[in-house]
Chains A and B, each alone.
Chain A
Amino acid sequence: MNKASFHILRVGLAITFLWIGLLILKDPVAWSGYIGPWLLPYLPVGAKEIMLTTAFFDIIVGLWLLLDYKLWIPAGLATLHLGTVIIVAGINAITVRDIGLFAASLALLFETFPRK
């Protein structure tokens, strides 16, 4: 991948994660509406707590992507997270965009995964 394209992808993804994390932190209850109802009975803690954890997770991943250190780790975490979101929330008018974000994270993971 071209170096400039790579950094544009990295910073763009980082900003998305940071901002979403912040928005979830602001109103975790509203965001918990995206958790599929089928999953709620199986959650070990409340939906609000799950969303608060997600918010901090998103902010950490975003900051890590921004700081460009051992990128395969935050890229892997982002891929796993977005894959989980697609499964948990299902695909609707909002989460359809997560497919693009998932693909972007996966591209970043492939690009940064340590090779022998």
Chain B
Amino acid sequence: MKKHYRHILILSAFALLFLVNSCNPFDDIYLNLDMDTEFNITAAGSEISIQKDFCLSDFEDYGDNKDHLLEIRYISSAYLTINSTPGLQGSNLVLTLYQADGSTVLFKYTVSPFIAGNYKGNPLKINLTQQEIDNINLYLKNPKVDKCFVAKLELSNVTASAMPYQLECKTEFLAELKIEP
């Protein structure tokens, strides 16, 4: 009889363990975080060079979930012209994303030639190489530690129908946050 009690006790312990471990109703959450950076330039020169800093903590979804983050992963990015002087164009548009130090390049993307109006209401999807994606993901390791970036926009040999010209545009970066329940 004692043997039976021991078996029942062991079985009950296993059953309890199984119940406790299988009774978490939550899955991990995968949340897409859209980080956009706007540039607004009014100039008359033949070169444009402008940069903007941003951090993950600037975005509410990151701040709300920071303590429960398991991973952040790069998904996609895009460039969009919001408004521009008619005929604004240049020979090379160079979009560069740096780490917070402003010198370590995460990716560099060139559009040649660049006509601003082509991307108004028609965003340009920025296709990165696997190496560039890996660079970004490596930088995003330790997701609970806030990361900052420098986004730089350069345009050379700028011409437009009127001077000074104006370019209002944005780059968007999409990352996936993996959040523990």
- Whether A associates with B in a native complex is no
